[in-house]
Amino acid sequence: MNRLEIIDGADDAAIADWLHGYLAGALARSIGAVAIAVPGGSTPFPILQRLAQMPLDWPRVTVWPGDDRIVPEDHAASNIGRIRAVMAPAGAHCVPLAEQARPPHFALVWLGMGGDGHIASLFPNSDPRADDPSPVRHVRPDPLPPEAPFDRLSLTIPALLASDHVAFVIRGADKRALFTAAAAGQNDLPIARLLREATQPVTCFT
pLDDT tens-digit map of 67-78: 999 999 999 999
pTM for the whole structure: 0.95
Helix (H, G, I), strand (E, B) or coil at 205: strand
Residues 201 and 1 sit within 8 Å (Cβ to Cβ) = no
pLDDT, residue 2, reads 64
* Share of residues in the chain with pLDDT > 70 (%): 99
Of 32-46, 79-93, 139-153, 189-203, the poorest mean pLDDT is in 139-153
Please say if the pLDDT value at position 1 is more than 80: no
Ramachandran quadrant class, 12 (left: phi over 0; alpha: psi -120 to 50; beta: rest): alpha
pLDDT for 56-113, tens place per residue?
999 999 999 999 999 999 999 999 999 999 999 999 999 999 999 999 999 999 999 9
Q: State the Cα–Cα distance between residues 149 and 165, nearest whole angstrom.
A: 31
Q: If you average pLDDT over residues 142-146, what whole number do you get?
A: 80
CATH code, domain carrying 70: 3.40.50.1360
Q: State the Cα–Cα distance between residues 51 and 172, nearest whole angstrom.
A: 23
Q: Into how many domains does the chain fold?
A: 1
Residues 120 and 67 sit within 8 Å (Cβ to Cβ) = yes
Residue-range definition of the domain harbouring residue 21: 4-205
